[in-house]
Amino acid sequence: MQRALKLAVHDICKRYESVNVVESVSIAIEAGQVVGLIGENGAGKSTLLNILTGIVQADSGEMVLDGKAFRPANYAQAASRGVSRVFQEQALIPNLRIYENLLLSHEARFTHFGQIIQRRRMIELAQDIADKAELGIDVRRQTSDYSFSKRQLLEIARACVVPVRILGIAQPVILLDEPTASLDRADEDTFFRLVASMRHEASFVFVSHRLSEVLTISDAIVVMKDGRIVARLEAREANEKQLHGLMVGRERQADYYHESSQAVAGDQFALQARSLSGVGYRDVDIDLHKGEVLGVGGLLDSGKSEMGKGIVGVIPPWSGKVRLRQGDWHNPDMRHSLANGVGYIPAERLAEGIIPDFQMAWNMSLASGDLFSSRLGIWNSRQERDVAERMIVDLNVRGATPSSACSKLSGGNQQKVVLARWLCRSVSILVLDNPTRGVDAGAKEEIYAIIRGLTAKGVSIVLITDELLELIGMSNRIAIMQRGQVTAIVDAPPSAKPSEVEMIRLMLPTGDAIRPASAA
């Protein structure tokens, strides 16, 4: 069925320094259509969305919305015309009430005489929006009271429902940039129901590295590579293998997780933890062997991320001890961990992993003051730059120089910067919390190869991940957490990997229904 044209993009170009980030891109989005937008990190997807929402101005080309020229000078102008967006990183204000976040910037619509805010009206409308989106939340509560997944769903609901309910815009265009990367399984289902319910009153651009989701939700799929559109397909005629080949220029390897090079862990302990208890976890005992990848899996509320921070001492636990190699038992402390070759990569890279406005070289050297400064405190900028240039090549950080601001990089390339921070040190233990979140399939494969290369050198890895197939494919052993406790340890040798169904059964509390796993 032919739909009316909603948004047309013609020959859009954007250049940073000497790099063409978006080059001669043209896209047509019809009313009520879901267009999947895929590509490797650095392909130009986020830059294109930034142009559509007025955050970045195109160097050339034109856009037409509802038959009229569209060139927003900022995000507010784009939103007023009906183009809203869910960003890769959360933009909610944690210490505000949920209704205040939902209706942020629209307060003037709920005032008497321009000064007295009608909070009851705001609460009633916000609750109606939350109920329509099936969020299952009380909008009077503080935003930080809810899980990271629920807050992500709140952002999605705000982008989807507010343009219709508050601005009265018919057929808004909603740009969804990696919306499901931080959702748990129940909230994923809620998201897909919300999009399905709004297809008759909105158009969507859906960006995701989970190709199975793109195929499920999209009508058409646009593939970007190196700033250009290389293919446009009907979703019903495409498959994951085909899309992967178009994105990265090659077929996905059969040995995607490099299981054939999985190191055999020795008997020597790299790290031991006993009776660790803190916010979200309790009485955790962990043994990590030299050269091993110890996977840690569980639901989003299992406490696995909090436990990872506790082991390293990012957030010291209330009680318990850790021991590195054959050293003394001690209270986890980040300073001690750093001095003894322990590194940590957080799940939320913009909030905890990088300083976006800093140069790449500065971000890479944040944990290495002892390596780049003399005893007199004189900073060796040349050495810092040389190391950054080497890391850019080794990790294939596309379209960047050591002086490039991290805010200009794609999410996947930002993640490589966080990884590079520890690779430029002689780390012996790395705690990785969802290191491939928001990273495309090709970059994931590169990160998996890096992890295998580290373990071959004797580096030990604690891999905390929400991706089932990643958890299974990358781990020597898997620790399963439920409600803050380690409830099972499963061997995962290359020749006898556990199944997804087995992992889900172990993750779910007794009595919960077993649901099929989503593709990683």
pLDDT at 518: 37
Give the pLDDT mean for 441-451: 83
Edge-first strand order for the sheet with 34-39 is 83-86, 173-177, 203-207, 34-39, 220-225, 228-234
Which residue has 């969020």 as its token pair? 135
Percent of the chain whose predicted confidence (pLDDT) is above 70:
95
pLDDT at 18: 63
pLDDT at 33: 92
pLDDT at 514: 37
pLDDT at 481: 94
Percent of the chain whose predicted confidence (pLDDT) is above 90:
35
What is the per-residue DSSP string for 415-475? HHHHHHHHHTTT-SEEEEESTTTT--HHHHHHHHHHHHHHHHTT-EEEEE-S-HHHHHHH-
Mean pLDDT of the chain: 85
Chain segment 171-197, per-residue pLDDT in tens: 899 999 888 877 777 788 888 888 888
Higher-confidence position of 8 and 209: 8
CA–CA separation, 228 and 444 (whole Å): 21
Domains present along the chain, CATH in parentheses: 5-93+169-248 (3.40.50.300), 268-341+428-510 (3.40.50.300), 347-425 (no CATH)
Neighbours of 137 (CB within 10 A): 21
Chain segment 256-283, per-residue pLDDT in tens: 888 888 877 778 999 999 999 999 899 9
Dihedral (CA of 361, 365, 371, 375) sign: positive
Q: Which helix (H) or strand (E) holds 51?
A: helix 45-52
Give the pLDDT mean for 447-466: 91
Higher-confidence position of 182 and 499: 499
Higher-confidence position of 113 and 176: 176
Burial class (CB in 10 A: 0-12, 13-18, 19+), 188: middle
pLDDT at 509: 73
pLDDT at 375: 76
Give the pLDDT mean for 491-505: 89
Which of 162-166, 313-317, 383-387 comes out lowest in average pLDDT? 162-166
434: left (phi over 0), alpha (psi -120 to 50) or beta: left
Tokens (6 digits) for 149: 């997944």
pLDDT at 512: 43
Give the pLDDT mean for 122-144: 89
Which of 75-84, 248-257, 373-382 comes out lowest in average pLDDT? 248-257
What is the per-residue DSSP string for 490-508? EE--TTSPPPHHHHHHHHS
Residue 479 has pLDDT above 90, yes or no: yes
338-373: buried (b, 16+ CB within 10 Å) or exposed (e) per residue? Answer: beebbbbbbbebbeebbeeebbbbbbbbebbeeebe
